[in-house]
Amino acid sequence: MGVSRQKRVEKAQMKVLFTVPFFAPGVAKLPVEFDPGVPTACTDGQNIRWNPEWFDKLSDPELVTVLCHEVAHCLLGHVWRAPGGADWEVWNEATDHAVNLMLTEFSELVMAKRLADPFPFPQPADAYCANPAFKGKAEEVIYNLLAQGKRGGNGSSPAGGCGASQASGAQPAGKGRKPPGGGKAPQPGPFPGSMPSFGQIAKPPGGAADPAQKKLGNDWENTLVQCAQMSKGRGDLPAGMERFVDSVVNPEVPWWERLAAWLREQASDDWNWMKPNQYFDESEFILPSLDSEKIGAVVFATDTSGSIDRDVLAHFQSEKQACLDDLRPRKLVDICCDSAIHSVKEYQLGDTIDKRAPGGGGTDFRPVFAHVAKMDMPPKCLVYLTDLDGSFPDKDPGFPVLWVVYGGGEGKAPFGEVCKVAS
């Protein structure tokens, strides 16, 4: 029987590769072990433990569903993402809703191409969490809703836990699926969260902060990137998973860090590694020198037309000072402008940036660029703090521009790069 089970696992793994390749790198990463102490199936991010009797009851297509369900828990970081002090049973339930709704969306996208459902859910139909009321919600949000319901004494959230869709009349999406329901009692088992479900996550020993667990979580983030590459161009990645992949591949960086990195990038071509910096001759390091004593002029412009968040403005002013002190531009030009320029100040190395920003009218970016065009030489770059709601110049000025956008502005700049300030 053991050999037969292993052959069925291998067959299911191969089917994943050809039908839903997004999950293939993750499936290859998780070896399967058979454990009668597990109610259905369980993962800790290192393997999948499967109840052998329950395994034997599943059809071959259902094996694919369970494999991908457990892999999804790992790809989405569920083993390590639980809120501090979380009720692990409720966290299991919340993440099951998220995973099963995602698998349902996968099925819809695949079946829209007139292909077979890649993820038929195990029977009975009430043995899984997939309440459509939770569609589009983050796992942490689902957890809070379920936890509130549990604290209220009814054992489930107002939106419903496992098996609640029938009571609400909602139908999980997917061909041939019936709404969960029937009040099936939780199966006994040593794993927390062993309520009706076909896949669990085991609580990490030592907690998510344990160095070994952090490394494991990082490894799965890398696997997620591989999965995204496997699925690229197929058009069958659910929106929720696509957003999560993007957050891993393109993590949100604080705007001031991006600004500092962008400024360093603009200055990079002024450094010469072929001519070492003589100031550090006596050290063990070889550092580059500037081709000129200082980089070209850097311009900062502040849109003072409306209410500027004081914290953002103060931080913006400190970044001007950091640019002056660290990058040593030939000069730093600081312009305050609404519909017209209210002040232009020039600073040299060693000066202190004035933190005041006068203004208060409408918004017009043209006066700033007109002023810069009259400078003795084009600046190295220009940084503009604004809500991006104003009149732009007719053409690209010909030098790098970074728009630091605050206040929820959703407009598009006709040139340059945009860096959003999180609200």
Cβ-contact 155, 149 below 8 angstroms: yes
Say how far apart CA 86 and CA 100 lie, in whole Å.
21
pTM for the structure as a whole:
0.55
Structure token digits, residue 181: 């329901």
At 46 the three-state DSSP class reads: coil
Amino acid at 353: I
Number of neighbouring beta carbons within 10 Å of residue 306:
16
Number of neighbouring beta carbons within 10 Å of residue 413:
17
Structure token digits, residue 56: 């034997």
The CA-atom distances, in angstroms, between 308 and each of 133, 282, 314 are: 39, 47, 10
Say how far apart CA 376 and CA 128 lie, in whole Å.
70
Beta 341-347 vs 332-337: how paired, if at all?
antiparallel
Angle, CA of 83, 89 and 90, to the nearest 5°: 60
Cβ-contact 296, 234 below 8 angstroms: no
Amino acid at 379: P
- What are φ and ψ of residue 302, in 5° steps? -120, 125
Classify residue 257 by burial, with Cβ atoms within 10 Å: 0-12, 13-18, 19+. exposed
Peptide bond connecting 124 to the previous residue in cis, omega within 30 degrees of 0: yes
Strand order from edge to edge, sheet including 341-347: 341-347, 332-337, 298-303, 381-386, 401-405, 417-420
Q: Find, among 390, 394, 395, the residue nearest to 403 by Cα.
A: 390
- Alpha helix ranges (H) inside 232-356: 239-249, 255-267, 310-322
What is the rounded radius of gyration, in angstroms, for the C-alpha atoms of the chain?
28
All domains of the chain in start order, with CATH? 2-249 (no CATH), 255-420 (3.40.50)
| Per-residue pLDDT, 6 | 93
Structure token digits, residue 344: 């232009």
**Residues in contact with 325: Cβ distance below 8 Å, sequence separation at least 6, in sequence order:** 349
Along the 423 residues of the chain, how does pLDDT read in single tens digits?
455 899 999 999 999 999 888 999 999 999 999 999 998 999 999 999 999 999 999 999 999 999 999 999 999 999 999 988 889 999 999 999 999 998 988 888 888 888 899 999 987 655 678 888 888 888 898 998 888 877 665 444 344 444 333 323 333 333 334 433 333 333 333 333 334 567 889 999 888 888 899 899 989 988 988 888 776 656 566 666 766 666 655 666 678 888 888 888 887 655 455 555 554 455 555 554 544 445 789 999 999 876 567 778 788 888 899 899 888 898 999 999 988 999 999 999 999 998 887 767 788 999 999 999 999 999 999 999 988 888 999 999 999 999 998 875 566 899 999 888 865
